Amino acid sequence: MVAKHTEISPPTDLDTPIYKYLSTEAFLYLMEFHILRFNSLRSWPDSFEGGMYEHLQRHSKYSKVLEKEVSSFVGSCWTLQQEDRRLYTNDFQFEAASKELEKDGSSAMWEAYCKSGGARIKTTIRKILDSIIKHNPELETTRGKAYYEPAATISRNPVSEPHALLFKKKVPFRFESEFRFIVSNADCSVLNIPVFNFYDFIDEILISPASESKIWISRSLFMNTFTRKVLHGKKRPKTRISQLYALISEEV
């Protein structure tokens, strides 16, 4: 019997915090409808997604193992928001850097995904997996960290698990520290996963930072989130505004 929910090695603890940077539109959609969207890999911004999978698919050695087309997979990308310990001379520096990243978010991620405002949500791997299973126990998923290789060698390094080919990315994307969930039997190009206990699902909301001229965007998103929690009688999730570019008031 094939396991329905597998993980690309090395394994990551299910209670590991995981984050997603959302544009203003995507964040408001999530807050209004409480739905996680899994999109076809073919619709992802990087047109090379799944390229290695398709390359090996053309070879008879792998054709039976890699039967599904890349377009049949849907997925959702998150970030572990992790720093590389090797970049720091001691544990104190590493821990301080990790806390700073947790506090205000990644400038590169804000620029990539929230240019006109947005938010970073925090949850856990377990909560996402539970939402998928509760929605449809028959869905087959593969989850794991993306791993990064130079384009010059990415086709030369084989993988032991066929679906691991969908987790390879080029080095310029390494700042994303990505963790992804891929569903192989959704039979659709967009899979909507409802989040039933929404205000427990999200552990924290960090509103995007802003320069002086755009502080009103961050303040508006902060107030919108605060109002929704009040209307639903909820005290969680904790909601903050990133102070990365300027000091922004959190008074209500």
Largest Cα separation within the chain, whole Å, is 63
- Helices in the chain by DSSP H: which ranges? 24-33, 51-57, 60-63, 91-104, 107-113, 125-135, 198-201, 215-231
What's residue 1's pLDDT? 36
Q: What angle in degrees, to the nearest 10, is found between the helix axes of 24-33 and 215-231?
A: 0
Q: Does residue 114 contact residue 100 with C-beta atoms inside 8 Å?
A: no
Tell me the C-alpha distance between 133 and 138, whole Å. 8
pLDDT tens per residue across span 167-215: 888 888 889 999 999 998 988 899 999 998 999 999 999 999 998 888 9
Copy the structure tokens of residue 134. Answer: 């509760």
Which residues in the chain land under pLDDT 70? 1-3, 47-48, 50-66, 154-162
What's residue 166's pLDDT? 84
SS3 state of residue 37: strand
The two counts, helices (H) then strands (E), for the chain are 8, 12
What's residue 56's pLDDT? 64
What's residue 31's pLDDT? 95
Q: Taking CA 75 as the corner, what is the angle to CA 72 and CA 76, rounded to the nearest 5 degrees?
A: 165
Q: Which residues of 38-67 are buried (b: 16+ CB within 10 A; e: fewer)?
A: bebbeeeeeeebbbbbeebbeeeebeeebe
Q: Note the pTM of the prediction, 2 decimals.
A: 0.89
